[in-house]
A and B are shown apart, each in its own frame.
Chain A
Amino acid sequence: MKPLSDPETLAPAEEAAVENPSVGIDQSAGNFSYDVTYEFDAGTGLNEKTVRYISSVKKEAQWILDFRLKALKTFESMPLPTHWATKDLENIDFNKIRYYLSQGQKPKRTWDEVPDDIKNTFERLGIPEQERKFLAGVEAQFDSEAAYSNIKDIVAKQGVIFCNSTEALREHPELFRKWFGKVIPTSDNKFSALNSAVFSGGSFIYVPPGVKVAQPLQAYFRINAENFGQFERTLIIVDEGAEVTYMEGCTAPKFSTSTLHSAVVELVAMKGAKIQYITVQNWASNVYNLVTKRGLAHEEAEIKWIDCNLGSRLTMKYPGVILKGRKARGEVISIALANDGQHQDTGAKMVHAADETTSTIVSKSISVGQGRATYRGVVHIPKHLKGCKNNTECDALLINTNSRTDTYPAITVRGDQHAVQHEASVSKVSEEQIFYMQQRGLTEGQAMSLSVNGFINDLARQFPMEYSVELKRLIDLEMEGSVG
């Protein structure tokens, strides 16, 4: 199959960011790009041809192609949500983006070409050599295929299906189609529509009734075994009384040649099921990370999102739970760190749709330098329900005097048989606190890191051990440039 257009003649995707220095910093600093020849390439720009091309490369069924084409129409007709969201979205040039890439050949770059500071970052994060090469794009494939198929085989014995979305659409259409696009409709927002048109990659998990998956399923292995997805589509269905924990992302910085990442993640927890979805992401500072994540919790089911966002130019992500069945529970725990030139616009959505449903939101954000962190939350409890509870807590920590934080909590409660609590705080690491720590021998940078780690400590503890250790190291690295 031939690419639609010759990749050599196309401008690199980063150019869009460089041309729009609206964040006041040179976006090209820290970027790096290499010439890579892709086996399958949909070229830049988006139209019906692009969508048909993606669908044909993936050898999809007609209904999926129809779904994609319909989504494309929706995407084209929807405006950007700039009446409430940042105007920075307008800097995305949809015509300059590549919507589908498949790396068939080995990249031509070598380890020697990788910039020293990036090598240092890997070194300090303690990432194994093999993985470093993969993350830096020196090796097209990280040799984790074996680890992935091992996990896959173990859980398969319990009847669990764990595969990529493309495979699931082929092998398990009956399971996939029933819930696909049901939790998050195509028209939910412009970016969910975009994802629906061009999605590729992502995970599919089905856990049969009563099965409790002992070990967390990790996308880390799975994604490394293919390409990093730009428009991932993940669907997790956990049947009655079953339980699963899923982890995606890694704390290592992802160096991506694409500037727009827009994933859609749908979770379905049937009666009494439990899903825990853990994300740790650290994007390169040129990336728009616009993600729609939502779960549907049936009676007595529990969905918990644990979400940690670092890096990127703009992240917009509000994991949500629709509490559809009686006594369903939803929880969002989020940590965001916005450094210079970054805007973390994150939060949660809790839609109560049954009696005695409970939701909890705990959000902590850290703004460093000129970084901006925004908490945006929706809690909706309609009048006809009774016995619903919500507890929202959002705390912001400002590091420098020019750091910024905003909080937009929207809590709508009708009826008088509910209990709702909202707490918000903004604090700054005080000079006295830093002096106190310095007086004990810590450098200013170490003192700052320790304060920040202390601030998120109660949430970081909820991450799996290896994630929270990496998170601590990452914060140390992020804080290094913040003092002086």
Chain B
Amino acid sequence: MHSLEIKDLHVSIGDKEIVKGLSLTIKTGEVHAIMGPNGTGKSTLSKAIAGHPDYTITSGDVLIDGKSILEMEPDERARAGVFLAFQYPSEIPGVTIANFLRAAQQARLAEGEELDATAYYKKLYSKMDLLKIDRKFTSRAVNEGFSGGEKKRCEILQMAMLEPIFSLMDETDSGLDIDALRIVADGVNAQRGEKLGVLLITHYQRLLDYIVPDFVHVMWDGRIVKSGDKSLALELEAKGYDWVKKELIHT
């Protein structure tokens, strides 16, 4: 079992503090959902963990199995098992999905070791079959001219191929119609298990109908203000975020 431990984390963009002391531990085999209104720092949290250069961690720590990852470059964190499914994935013109994933796999091998191309394609095609993705998809340039649904599916395919230990899924449901949402959720559920810890970041409860979380946390103004099980999400859906706000003021 592995753990991703976020300890009293403070994150700033420029001079502005966005995450203001957040603590959370995720273990493999668990699915945690973070919910909250826009602008509370949910995406900032995931990007800071992944090591985005625009986000400064002013205090606190992020540890994998007790070892801090904050001194690591984004690519080192990725190779250590952290995967970020982007809310807005970048386009990489001229680089096909097949070549991109191949380069990403190659980067995980020791120097001088060559990726076995046959085994790679075998794995790629089996994951694509699992996610019901057409073979032609991989010869397209990464995210270039993709619809919202295609972009998210591409993220899920990458996650399936790279087999991370911890997956941070940033608003994976945004911009998806109900069919696309179901496909993406099926993809995540297929990968769910003892070997994977998931942090689902979402604005709406809707996604949680398809990916049922073990824990739900409500984020407000840079902190987790309420935690519970999946019923918390339903309560939120019924009462709205104002309910949390009022509770906060009263306590």
Contact = CB atoms under 8 A, between A and B. Distances in A.
Interface of A: 430-433, 435-444, 446-447, 450-451, 453-458
A39 to B, nearest CB: 44
Contact of A454 (B73, B92, B108): B92
For A437, A440, A458, the residue with the greatest tally of chain B CB atoms inside 10 Å of its CB is A440
A457 B92 contact: no
B98 interface: no
A427 to B, nearest CB: 8
Nearest to B85: A439
A441 B95 contact: no
A272 B2 CA distance: 69
Given A450-B92, A456-B94, 5 more contacts: A435-B74, A435-B90, A438-B73, A447-B75, A454-B92
A382 to B, nearest CB: 37
Nearest to B84: A439
17 contacts: A431-B53, A432-B90, A435-B53, A436-B92, A437-B90, A437-B92, A438-B51, A438-B75, A438-B78, A440-B158, A441-B75, A441-B104, A443-B107, A446-B103, A450-B92, A451-B92, A454-B141
Given A453-B95, A454-B95, A442 B107 contact: yes
B75 A443 contact: yes
* Contact residues on B (Cβ < 8 Å of other chain), bracket: 20 to 34
A449 to B, nearest CB: 9
B203 interface: no
Contact of A441 (B52, B79, B90): B79
Interface of B: 50-54, 73-75, 78-79, 83-84, 86, 89-95, 99-101, 103-104, 107-108, 141, 158, 162
Nearest to A458: B94
Nearest to A443: B75
Contacts of B93: 454-455
B94 A440 contact: no
A450 B73 contact: no
Nearest to B80: A441
For B94, B100, B107, B158, the residue with the greatest tally of chain A CB atoms inside 10 Å of its CB is B94
A439 B74 contact: yes
Contacts of A438: 51, 73-75, 78
Nearest to A449: B103
Nearest to B91: A433
For A454, A456, A457, the residue with the greatest tally of chain B CB atoms inside 10 Å of its CB is A454
Contacts of B99: 450
Contacts of B95: 450-451, 453-454, 457
A430 B90 contact: yes
Given A435-B52, A435-B53, A450-B100, A442 B75 contact: yes
B90 A457 contact: no
Nearest to A431: B53
Contacts of B84: 439
Contact of B108 (A430, A436, A441, A447): A441
B185 to A, nearest CB: 22
Given A441-B104, A442-B107, A451-B95, A436 B90 contact: yes
A444 B75 contact: yes
A442 B103 contact: yes
Closest 5 A/B residue pairs (Cβ): A454-B94, A457-B94, A454-B95, A436-B90, A438-B74
A457 to B, nearest CB: 4
A443 B72 CA distance: 12
Contacts of B78: 438-441
Contacts of B90: 430, 432-433, 435-437
A45 to B, nearest CB: 48
A438 B103 CA distance: 11
Nearest to B92: A454
Contact of B89 (A436, A441, A455): A436
Nearest to B108: A441
Contact of A440 (B51, B73, B104): B104
B228 to A, nearest CB: 30
Contacts of A436: 86, 89-90, 92
Nearest to B158: A440
B121 to A, nearest CB: 18
Contacts of A444: 73, 75
Contacts of B50: 439
A25 B239 CA distance: 66
Nearest to A437: B92
B53 A450 contact: no
A460 to B, nearest CB: 9
Nearest to B99: A450
Contacts of A453: 94-95
A443 B104 CA distance: 9
Contacts of A451: 92, 95
A437 B104 CA distance: 8
A456 B95 CA distance: 10
A438 B95 CA distance: 15
A438 B93 CA distance: 16
For A432, A439, A457, the residue with the greatest tally of chain B CB atoms inside 10 Å of its CB is A439
A274 to B, nearest CB: 28
Contacts of A441: 75, 78-79, 104, 107-108, 162
